[in-house]
Amino acid sequence: MNKSKSSWQLFIVGVVTLGVLLPEFLIRRNMDTLYYIYGHFTTYFGDLWYCWSNYLNKGFPYPREYPALIQAIFKILFKIPGVAEDYNYYIWFIVAILAVSAVINSCYLFIIRGSWQRLLTYWLLAPSFLFYSLMNVDVLPIATIVLSYYCFSREKYSLSASWLALGTAIKVFPVFLFPVYFLATPKEKRLELTSFMLVVWFALNLPFMVTDWSAWSYPYLWQIQENYARTAADGSWTWLVFMCFDHFGVGSWSGKVSLVLFAGSYLYFIRKYNYLPIARQLLIVMILFIFTDRVYSPQYNLYLLPFLVLVDYKIDWRWFYLLELPNFIQGFFLFAVKNNPYYIQSILVLKYLALALLLRQVLTAKLEEVQND
């Protein structure tokens, strides 16, 4: 693919990405639309609205539950005249940041894989991307994950670690990919990889640690102490663990059980299947994270999608849509689903079944040469 053709195709990728984002932006861009879909479908307004309504609009400059760099982004937005007072004005700024991130994701996924079919099926037209890409800030750390993978695949280990460190300063999840990169890195380059990961992460976080330790540490303490399933409505099987432990007065331990299960399964699968291509190993980590997470947030499926684009085998579309369609239903009819334990548990059973089937295929699909299908 020559340079001019490549540039033209990337331009088309960017335009298509923005076009795909447009319907969701129209849904979320003003309060009238949000109230309409909530009133008719019980659809959640979204975490972008939550950050504005519960923090910026109340005079607090950032959402407390998010790590340092997200706090910094919102502090900058807060200083723009009119943003804290007008949701319709605020949403243009935050969506612009997310749209740029989404375009970066799409372009680099296309550069790496070179497949329109994969890009459209498992990213741009995936139900989770269509509905959740502008619900939260997740496309921003996902962009750092994709850039990290791109650099790693070209043996630029310091850049790969730097992107991963940046993503970890935005949201915690990218750090879970680091052990896979570490084990896949030549031994003589592992110190370089680790050093850049640590130095960049500390450089990004240290100013926040020094100036306001409580604000910096709160998101991590909140995740450990507060953010776990307590009832069937919380969207994770771990509410059963909470109920058992709460009988003995230690319900909060259910979050630790989730962490132990994730760490244990992570070590098992990555050690046993370390011969698989790195895209497959990273997809395994994504699946295990969602399987064991303490609160199943529907937008977390976004973290799976890039590696479904990148893996080297033909994905069974039945298992993909068995995961995606219930996930879309859960979000679009969120409160109707949450308020009926039978609905939410039925959806969870389907999603966990789909994750198990996708995991099985990751582990058993034959190693194939990547085709630009």
Domain-located, residue 161: yes
Q: Report d(CA 67, CA 120) in Å as an integer.
A: 31
pLDDT tens, position by position, 47-63: 999 999 999 999 999 99
- Asked if residue 370 belongs to a domain, the reply is no
pLDDT attached to residue 239: 81
- The rounded average pLDDT for each run of 10 residues, N- to C-terminus, in the chain (373 residues) is 70 98 94 92 93 95 94 96 95 97 98 94 97 95 98 97 97 95 97 98 96 95 83 80 82 82 93 94 96 86 96 94 93 87 86 96 77 47
Domain count, the chain: 1
In a domain, 51, yes or no: yes
Tens digits of per-residue pLDDT, 196-255? Answer: 999 999 999 999 999 999 999 999 998 888 878 788 777 788 888 888 888 888 877 887
The pTM (predicted TM-score) of the whole model is 0.94
- pLDDT score recorded for residue 3: 53
Q: Judge whether 124 lies within some domain.
A: yes
Place of tokens 């950032």: 62
Using alpha carbons, select from 152, 108, 145, 135 the residue that is nearest to residue 48: 135
Domain limits at 252? Answer: 3-364
- Whether 201 is in a domain gets the answer yes
